[in-house]
Amino acid sequence: MEAFKSFLPVFLDKQLSIPAWELLVLVAIGSVCLLFRATKVGLLLTYIFVMHLTWNFVRLNLSLTSLLSYFILGGLVLAMGFISLIHDD
């Protein structure tokens, strides 16, 4: 529990600004994906958007180890998403 208490202030003391145009583009493309029932594409788009926001946060506020883990875990999840997008259920 002590590790969590020391880890939490790292994120609570930071700010992240999101440009309005990026949010509008995400909502517009996500809406089109939902209208045409392309849910996998919509989820993949949302994942990429969240990775972009996380990149801005990690790049400005955290260490090199955090950047390395960000790239490794993000790449693995993105690869699994693309594989899932290709395969039919």
Instruction: Give the three-class secondary structure for 19.
Output: coil
Residue 14: pLDDT band with limits 50, 70, 90: low
Position 35 scores a pLDDT of: 92
For residue 63, the tally of other CB atoms under 10 A from its CB is 9
Domain parsing of the chain, residue ranges: 37-89
For residues 35 and 70, the answer to whether their CB atoms sit within 8 Å is no
Cα 17 from Cα 27, distance rounded (Å): 17
Position 16 scores a pLDDT of: 63
Q: Is 70 exceeded by the pLDDT of residue 2?
A: no
* Per-residue pLDDT tens digits for 33-78: 889 988 888 888 888 888 788 777 777 766 777 778 878 888 898 8
